[in-house]
Amino acid sequence: MKKIIVLLAFFVVSSSTIAQIKIRPGVKLGLNNSRLQGLDNAESITGINGGLFVNFDFTRFYELQIETGYSQQGATVNRTLSINLNDPFFTNNRIEEDIDLQYLSLGIANKFFVMAKDHGFHFIVGPSIDIIVNDTNFNSTPIDLSFFGGIGYEFPFGLAIEARYKQGVIDVEDTYDSSTYNDVDYYYTNSVFQIGAAYKFDF
């Protein structure tokens, strides 16, 4: 009898808690300013990011957001085609080349609201797993693990403006040299500043 009462009480509490969780889907779109840390003569490149998410509103202070989407990253590199010291114009042989890294990402964003409300100013922090889908002018590794943090402001009707910084921790270049059967000693990581807008639907 006691077990039945305990199970019934647990069911009631669990049902009440689940009923208080508000689940809202949404969309997000923004711009990236990215570069590859550790790569010489590299400059930042502009790309886009966007995707879908599901937001779980647990309390007035905290929301959990599962995100999936597309992110265009990389860098611009100054390369030298050839150097001829007898040619007075050899400095013109340098060109700019874009390294275009396109990822499909899965992230978990933890959103902490400052004013004890489910909207307004908030902090964002979480991890992301990025899977490469295109790597123009680069021999990339297939997966990158990143961590991101940022700030944002959400309006009562569901629109949010956010700025994030995402830092990769895995070497994004496949540096194995098949001609010498050795690993080349380089280490490049993704570094991305993101700004964009998101909208949560209220069904």
User: Mind listing the domains of the chain with CATH numbers?
Assistant: 20-200 (2.40.160.20)
**Regions of the chain short of the pLDDT cut 70:** 1-19, 80-94, 116, 175-185
Per-residue pLDDT of 68-125, as tens digits, reads: 999 999 999 877 665 555 655 555 566 778 899 999 999 999 999 997 677 899 999 9
CA dihedral 46, 130, 152, 165 (to 10 degrees): -60
